[in-house]
Amino acid sequence: MKSAIALIAAAVLLIPLTATGQDYGEVDEIVVTGSRLAGWGPEEVPQVRLTRRADNLVIQVQVICDTRDPARRRAELLETLRNMARSAAGRDDIDLSTGSDILSSFDETMAGGLTIGVDRTRADTSLVTLTIKTPVRADDTLDAATARIERFVEQAPKAGRTEIVLSGDWELTLIGPDRYRAEILAAIAADARRTAEAFGDQYAVQVDGLAHRVTWTQSGPLDLSLFIPYQLTVTPAGS
């Protein structure tokens, strides 16, 4: 049994703790309840997992303007975007971002560089898509968190014929999933040690899949379960 425990601990120590893939890095903010969600069912999530609150609640918004004159329409859009950025800059509960799966911060100096799209269902209408986020607090409810963003959208100064419309679903984000890799690996190793001790010297415990990336599933309105998709097997010693 002692040798089996030592092998488990050694295997865990050999797993790299830094992000090496291209999907996300240590400091990326990932929208984890959108298209990147693995869709794990309860029976597929490993026994060892880390449950924590999401970092932010986010939703995409479309900033839309239908002023007839193109130059004035663009000016009104940019003025509204800068107004939004200035309003968010003075708060600690609202931030603006660009991107969909991986978010990047947005401020008023970046307004002129955004891509202005065309609403093909409405004549003389242009739009810009942004993401608004609010931090998930320890005592937050989903209603309380969504209300902060809804109030911000309602109160944001809008130039001319510009409007701000919520678009898409409420989603959760996680900053740097790989930050939790060491903690999850330690928990897996501890569980494997307990399993080895429970079965005794006549059985061997093997853990596979520790090279997989940290992944996630939603476990509550504002909560996530983080895990590494590992498999633990118990076999007769020497088999």
Ordered per-residue pLDDT tens for the chain, 239 residues: 444 444 444 444 344 433 333 355 556 899 987 644 456 766 778 889 999 999 999 999 999 999 999 999 999 999 999 999 999 998 999 999 998 888 999 999 999 999 999 888 888 899 999 999 999 999 999 999 999 999 999 999 999 999 999 998 999 999 999 999 999 999 999 999 999 999 998 999 999 999 999 999 888 999 999 999 999 999 998 76
Q: What is the pLDDT of residue 166?
A: 96
| Residues with Cβ within 8 Å of residue 56, at least 6 apart in sequence | 29, 95, 133, 134, 135, 136, 172, 173, 175
Going 30 to 33 to 35 to 40, the CA torsion angle's sign is positive
Q: What is the pLDDT of residue 193?
A: 93
Q: What is the pLDDT of residue 173?
A: 94
| Residues with Cβ within 8 Å of residue 129, at least 6 apart in sequence | 60, 61, 62, 63, 117, 167
